[in-house]
Chains A and B, each alone.
Chain A
Amino acid sequence: TIGLQVSSGLQDLSLRDRGGRRRDFHDLGVNTRQAMVHVQESKSGFSGKMIKLTTNHFRLTSRPQWALYQYHVGYSPEIEARRLRSALLFQHEEHIGKTHAFDGSILFLPKKLENKVTELFSRTRNREDVKITITLTNELPPTSPTCLQFYNIIFRRLLKMLNLQQIGRNYYNPSDPVSIPNHRLMVWLGFTSSILQYEENIMLCADVSHKVLRGETVLDTMHSLHSQVGEERFRDTCAKELIGLIVLTKYNNRTYRIDDIDWDNNPKGTFRKSDGSEMSFVEYYRKQYNIEISDWMQPVLISQMKQKRGNIQGSVALIPELCSLTGLTDKMRNDFNMMKDLAIHTRLPPEQRQREIGRLLNYIQKDDNVQKELRNWGLSFDYKSVSFTGRVVQGEKIFQSGNMFDYNPQFADWTKETRGVPLIHAVPVDNWLLIYTRRNYDVANTLLQSLFKVSPSMGIRMNKPSMIEVDDRTEAYLRVLQQRVTPDTNIVVCILSSSRKDKYDAIKKYLCTECPIPSQCVLARTLSKPQTIMTVATKIALQMNCKMGGELWSVEIPLKQVMIVGIDCYHDTVSGKQSIAGFVASLNQTVTRWFSRCVVQNRGQELVDGIKACLQTALRNWSKWNKCLPSRIFVYRDGVGDGQLNTLVNYEVPQFLDCLKSIGTDYSPRLTVIVVKKRVGARFFAEVAGGLKNPPPGTVVDTVVTRPEWYDFFIVSQTVKNGCVAPTHYNVIYDTSQLKPDHVQRLTYKLCHMYYNWSGIIRVPAPCQYAHKLAFLVGQSIHREPNLMLSDRLYYL
């Protein structure tokens, strides 16, 4: 009788989240595996050494024959207000029981009511009789998608019962914060949690989450920005620093995203209340919350309210003085010292992390009310996390000009091994410019001498550059570029005296669009330490070489005629709400050269059309380089948000196929599309000698904690010095390659070795990281598609 369907129309309805949103963050119900015959039986690989792993997943158990009963609740006469609907229904607790979940129209009960249709009568205050009809619509088995949503809602209820504070999607414990006064930061410890159907069980995935809060208001931040940058750049800087940030308010428990700053408004300005009357902000906050706004000259922040399906539903004005900032800005992320201080508190080593997670489970186990709630629903948790075996695949060999290197798997890095070894393809630097300000004359010379020292052993031939001294102004740099860059220039190196972004942006913009020449910007500060100058110079020499079309090293790629594509997105929050998709595609057999393009689009536009054009040009270029078309294409797609998988499967993949079809009727390459996700809740710990350690790079997990409806796997590819290593999730959503899972996993891992800005293994396949770099450069500095003359080089590194 399980799965009984009474009214089909109501079956798709799902429980409503807080705020009435219905969003499927977990991409439930997107079943891509069923279309891939070759992984129906098994999607597991076999190569590598076995490793015992523990994870942060906990089994959810329900008593046998458990089912959730879903009812539709109707009112006659119709009643709009959700609160009144609830109140009228709950007058009948003796009928429906004390344990229930109700969102205004759908009622979930742990028990079955006597009749399929129950009619109840309630009376409102104005003596109006209301008939409530409770109709059984569904009897849900524990694994149904609706049930999974329901578990998540119940779990959030439990977290609230534990007195944790909700910020965004996660819950935090405010009573024991860590404060970092040096940076005016406060860190709250909290938890992320999700309950999902995994390979064999429904499990809770719980992880530690840190919320960085700032002990200052938006107004404080504005003050300090003003004193830092001065009047002229004040508004611009505020926009860049503040827009996109999430704020908390002094008076309610909501978070808002800053979408705009209204400089023409201030707290004395008025707004229209819901009853139609006009009121000033000053008056409103005084009346409503007894809050006196002290600065009446501050501007007003604007936050767009998003409702269901992303429609914009008007905006809210916020007063900077009453808003506290949360999270980190890009600028803060780039602040090495700040990140170092933060890391002490946020980078928990495996054992400590597992202990903190255990604390949450402990709270749940110990709290009477929570246990009662769980019991009433007939649910419970396994309080010990799940253990299983994973595999560690063999390390790759690094090839560089006839030499072969192994690297120490513990560090996943071959900087030392390949030092002083000629590159695969070193581009000579015959004609180049070195631009610096007077103050940095010495630094420029130091750099030059060091470059001359390190280049020969790498096989790079380097001539003396044209040394050009400029004033420390953006226009001065640009004028020099206009006058001195010729079509023969190989590369321009600029030494900048401060990390002021406008100068960097202007240089990059000019040299990526109007005058397409590779460029390398270096901060003078980076070159000022004698003890590190050689390392820095080596890195700069390598980077310059890549930007001019050089190749550093390679790994063995067993597949022939294969083109690898990487896509990532960057969402520009500041200038015009653009989104940028970076697109890169390999050009040669060894996957050492990359073609790139970029799609710049305004908000609301779909990505797919632009990507189709990118793929077309990529194929054209591949065939130019290889005198044929690729027979296999792998697309690594990064930048897919939670809940967007459906769009990808239904719109983007068909576009890829369309594009391939348009090349020619006899052309049908094998296509594999893999969604890459860095931000996942899963953590793996290797059980070593009774303790927990980070699993070594090359650890592959494709059982137990993967999803049954997907062809997916995890790879831990990088190592971390502090804290826990984060696995990357790969979801093969389309695959006609006929390759075994093992081979797809190995290829993916190999590609993590191919990012030239880092002589080690990285978290994602190199094409994703290249696409990310490109999208970031364009989104941050250039804001339009770079000149295609550069498209066969890694100029965006």
Chain B
Amino acid sequence: MDKNFQEEFTQIIKFKPPLYKQRHQFIKDLVEKYRPKKVADLGCADCSLLRMLKFCSCIEVLAGLDICANVMKEKMHTLSPLPVDYLQPSERSLTVTLHHGSVAHKDPCMLGFDLVTCIELIEHLEEPELKKFPEVVFGFMAPSIVVISTPNSEFNPLLPGVMLYRHPDHKFEWNQAQFQSWALETARCYDYSVEFTGVGHPPTGMEKAGFCTQIGVFVRKYPQAGESVQSEKPTEAVYKTVFKAVYPSLKDEKYLQNAVISEVIFTAQIIKHRLMSKREEYGDDPERKSKFQPSMDCFSDYLGKLVVEKNMEPFISGNEVYIPLATIFSFPKVNRLCGTFEKLCKLIAGKVTLSSDGSAVMFNIENEEN
């Protein structure tokens, strides 16, 4: 649980940024490069890596797995959507799930991932678990990419106070040759390629020791398994779900509709407001030109251009103000949300008061004032 921050305390003198941050940054760079949609972190502990990954815009499914439910639970609420996520739902969908279970067991919920990370995980596994691990991760889950990091024991003499292992829970710590031979054998066995790297550079003159944390990046050589192949695999759930958060997204019709209605009415209100104040206060104010920032007053310029076009001019008739949907649709925000005019009409049907022919948003201004 506390491996990250304890390391920070002891090694802050040596590594800047601290080693755990370098490991996270390594994963983040990898995500930027391959842009996976589904990412799982095995041995996610306090979820700090997941917390960072949820900000990566390519990821739509995030999963964490740990053998200790309490450690996950402690900070899992930080993976919940923020109030702002509800207020301004994002374009992408995102589901974050935490599972309680062992990497030695297969569970169908881990199928179909693009990237699986095992950061400082394997050295915590007992012999029998370590034996089953390759079959579960490479054989069963079979993601496109697997990242495995583990301490490099050749570096230990350079760390203050490390006698045997870096952490009392470590079952082993491998040197570079041990890790690489295990990794190469695993890769060969499951048809992956592997490349070795690491974080935490050794001091000058000690280059032979290698990185403090050694990393293997495994890339699957065969194309993605088809649906049919996966369905043949054992499908009994053995993990226990301890947390699940579905982020509000515009992909969800409910949120999209809310967003569109809100944007349509808001846009219409602004147009109406301008129309009315023009009518009321003509000649009252001199120039209202922007000298401040071009970006600040784009709206009024934009409106000015639009009004020139035919059939798009808002108008007042009696106690009613009409703002053509075509005008509203031409606003970039509305346009981007709906895509097509038909979609716009469909989404606001019955939710926004329209003119009798359905071509304009209608406001009654009779009872406007207090």
Of residues 151 through 177 on chain B, the ones whose CB sits less than 8 Å from some CB of chain A are 160-163, 166-168
Kindly list 15 other residue pairs between chains A and B, CB separation below 8 angstroms, not including A81-B9, A224-B270. Answer: A84-B2, A84-B6, A87-B2, A123-B168, A124-B6, A126-B161, A127-B162, A172-B83, A179-B261, A213-B83, A213-B87, A217-B88, A234-B292, A275-B16, A290-B57
- Which residues of the partner chain A approach B206 to less than 8 Å between Cβ atoms? none
Interface pick from A248-256, A588-596, A777-785: A248-256
CB–CB A231/B55 < 8 A: no
- Interchain CB contact under 8 A, B296 and A83: no
Asked whether, in the complex, the Cβ of B285 is within 8 Å of the Cβ of A230, the reply is yes
Q: Does A250 contact B84, Cβ atoms closer than 8 Å?
A: yes
Residues of chain B in range 268-299 having any CB-CB distance to chain A below 8 Å: 269-270, 273, 281, 284-285, 288-299
**Contact yes or no, B292 A125, CB < 8 A:** no
- Considering the chains assembled together, what is the distance between the CA atoms of A179 and B259 in angstroms? 10
Known: A226-B292, A227-B299, A290-B57. A125 touches B370 (CB 8 A): no
A179 near B262 with CB under 8 A, answer yes
- Nearest-Cβ distance from residue B292 to partner chain A, whole angstroms: 5
Interface residues of B (CB under 8 A from A): 1-3, 5-7, 9-10, 16, 55-57, 77-78, 80-84, 86-88, 160-163, 166-168, 258, 261-262, 264-266, 269-270, 273, 281, 284-285, 288-300, 368-370
How long is the Cα–Cα vector from A231 to B293 in the complex, in angstroms?
A: 9
Smallest Cβ-Cβ distance to B77: which chain A residue: A160
Q: Are B81 and A227 in contact (CB under 8 A)?
A: no
C-beta contact mask, A320-344 vs B, less than 8 Å → 1, else 0?
Answer: 0000100000000000110000000
Within the complex, which residue of B55, B86, B284, B297 is in contact with A177, where a contact is CB–CB below 8 Å?
B86
Residues of B within 8 A of A336 (CB): 369-370
Q: Does A617 sit at the interface, judged by CB under 8 A?
A: no
- Residues on B with beta carbons closer than 8 Å to the beta carbon of A121: none
**Which residue of chain A has its CB nearest to the CB of B348?**
A181
CB distance from A495 to the nearest CB of B (A): 15
Would you give the 0/1 interface string for A353-387, flagging 1 where the beta carbon is closer than 8 Å to chain B? 00000000000000000000000000000000000
What are 28 A-B pairs at a CB distance below 8 A? A84-B9, A87-B2, A87-B6, A125-B2, A125-B3, A125-B10, A126-B6, A126-B160, A127-B162, A127-B163, A163-B77, A179-B258, A181-B265, A184-B262, A184-B266, A214-B87, A215-B262, A222-B296, A223-B298, A226-B290, A230-B288, A231-B288, A248-B87, A250-B82, A253-B78, A275-B16, A324-B83, A324-B84
Smallest CB-CB A-B distances: 7 pairs: A336-B370, A125-B6, A230-B288, A181-B262, A126-B10, A181-B265, A126-B161
B55 near A289 with CB under 8 A, answer: yes
How far, in whole Å, are A231 and B369 apart by their CA atoms in the complex? 27
Closest to A297 in B: B293
Hey, which bits of chain A sit against chain B, CB under 8 A?
A: 81, 83-84, 87, 123-128, 160, 163, 165, 167, 172, 174, 177, 179, 181-182, 184, 186, 188, 213-215, 217, 222-224, 226-228, 230-231, 234, 248-253, 275, 288-291, 295, 297-298, 324, 336-337, 472, 498, 525, 528
Q: B139 to nearest A CB, angstroms?
A: 33
Contact of A84 among B5, B168, B265 (CB under 8 A): B5
In the bound assembly, the distance between CA atoms of A223 and B265 in angstroms comes to: 17
Q: Could you say which of B9, B56, B281, B297 contacts A126, with CB atoms under 8 Å apart?
A: B9
Contact A297 B10 (CB under 8 A): no
Residues on A with beta carbons closer than 8 Å to the beta carbon of B281:
498
A181 & B296 in contact (Cβ 8 Å cutoff): no
- Contact: A231 with B291, CB < 8 Å? yes
Say whether A231 contacts B270, CB under 8 Å. Answer: no
B296-A226 in contact (CB<8A)? yes
Name the distance in Å between A187's Cβ and chain B's nearest Cβ: 11
By the criterion CB–CB under 8 Å, are B82 and A248 in contact? yes
Q: Which residue of A lies closest to B160 (CB)?
A: A126
Contact A249 B84 (CB under 8 A): yes
CB distance from B69 to the nearest CB of A (A): 12
Closest A residue by C-beta to B31: A290
**Once bound together, how far apart are the Cα atoms of A18 and B105, in whole Å?**
38
Contact B266 A248 (CB under 8 A): no
The residue in chain A whose Cβ has the minimal distance to the Cβ of B163 is A127
Q: How near does chain B come to A101, taking the closest CB pair, in angstroms?
A: 14
Closest to B58 in A: A290
Residue of B nearest to A163 (CB): B80
How far is the CB of B244 from the nearest CB of chain A, in Å? 10
Nearest CB on B from A497, distance (A): 8
**Contacting pair B284 A181 (CB below 8 A):** no
Task: Given the known inter-chain contacts A227-B300, A231-B289, A336-B370, please indicate yes or no for A125 contacting B9, CB distance below 8 A.
Answer: yes
Which chain A positions have C-beta within 8 A of B284?
472
**A473's closest neighbor in chain B, by CB?**
B284
Q: Which residues of A contact B163 (CB under 8 A)?
A: 127
Tell me whether B368 and A337 are in contact (CB under 8 A).
yes
User: Within the assembled complex, what's the spacing in Å between the Cα atoms of A126 and B161?
Assistant: 6
Counting chain B CB atoms within 10 Å of each CB, the highest count among A214, A337, A528 belongs to: A337
Nearest A-chain residue to B287, judged by Cβ: A230
- Shortest beta-carbon distance, B263 to chain A, in Å? 8
When C-beta atoms are compared, the residue in chain A nearest to B363 turns out to be: A182
On whether the beta carbons of B83 and A83 are closer than 8 Å, the reply is no
Q: Please, which residues of chain A bring their CB within 8 A of the CB of B288?
A: 230-231
Establish whether residues A290 and B369, one from each chain, have CB atoms under 8 Å apart when the complex forms: no
User: Given A215-B262, A231-B288: A223 and B299 within 8 A (CB)?
Assistant: yes
Name B269's contact: one of A182, A226, A297 (CB within 8 Å): A182
For B83, list chain A residues within 8 Å (CB). Answer: 165, 167, 172, 174, 188, 213, 248, 253, 324
Q: CA of A291 to CA of B293 in the docked complex: distance in angstroms?
A: 23
For A253, what are the chain B residues with a Cβ–Cβ distance below 8 Å?
78, 82-83
* A-side contacts of B269, CB under 8 Å: 182
Kindly list chain A residues whose C-beta atoms are within 8 Å of the C-beta of B5. 81, 83-84
Cα A93 to Cα B370 with chains together (Å)? 63
Question: How many whole Å from B286's CB to the nearest CB in chain A?
Answer: 9
Cα distance, A182 to B273, chains bound together (Å) = 12
Shortest CB-to-CB span from A643 to chain B, Å, is: 26
Q: How far is the CB of B252 from chain A (nearest CB, A)?
A: 12
A249 CB → nearest B CB, Å: 7
The minimal Cβ–Cβ distance linking B248 to chain A, given in whole angstroms, is 9
Nearest-Cβ distance from residue B60 to partner chain A, whole angstroms:
14
Rounded to whole Å, the gap between the CB of A318 and the closest CB of chain B is 13
Contacts of B292 on A, CB cut-off 8 Å? Answer: 226, 231, 234
Whether B161 and A127, one on each chain, are in contact in the complex, defined by CB atoms closer than 8 angstroms, is: yes
**A228 vs B5: C-alpha distance when bound (angstroms):** 51
Determine if A295 and B6 form an interchain contact, defined as CB atoms under 8 angstroms apart. no
- Find out whether the CB atom of A215 lies under 8 angstroms from the CB atom of B9: no
Shortest CB distance B160–A (Å): 6
> How many whole Å from B29's CB to the nearest CB in chain A?
11
B161 — which chain A residues lie within 8 A by C-beta?
126-128
Q: In the assembled complex, how far is the CB of residue B86 from the closest CB belonging to chain A, in whole angstroms?
A: 5
Does A87 lie within 8 Å of B1, measured CB to CB? Answer: yes
Whether A231 contacts B290 in the complex (CB less than 8 A), given A125-B9, A167-B83, A297-B295, comes out as yes
Contacts of B80 in A (CB 8 A): 163, 165
In the assembled complex, the Cα of A361 lies from the Cα of B269 at a distance in Å of: 41
List chain A residues, Cβ under 8 A from B296: 222-223, 226, 234, 297
B57 with A125: CB separation less than 8 A? no
Chain A residue at minimal CB-CB distance from B57: A290
In the docked arrangement, what's the CA distance between A249 and B288, Å?
32
**Of listed B160, B292, B296, residue having the most chain A CB within 10 A:** B296
Query: Which residue of chain B has the shortest Cβ distance to A179 in the bound complex?
Result: B258
Q: Which residues of A contact B294 (CB under 8 A)?
A: 297
Q: Are B266 and A290 in contact (CB under 8 A)?
A: no
* A-side contacts of B88, CB under 8 Å: 215, 217, 250, 324
In the complex, chain B residues whose CB is within 8 Å of the CB of A528: 369
A174 near B86 with CB under 8 A, answer: yes
- Rounded to whole Å, the gap between the CB of B336 and the closest CB of chain A is 13
Determine which of A83, A215, A251, A295 lies in contact with B295 in the assembled complex, contact meaning CB atoms within 8 Å: A295
Measured CB to CB, the closest approach of chain B to A659, in angstroms, equals 43
Task: Select the residue from A167, A184, A188, A230 with max chain B CB neighbours within 10 A.
Answer: A230
B243 to chain A, nearest CB (A): 10
Residues from chain B with Cβ under 8 Å of A298 in the complex = 295
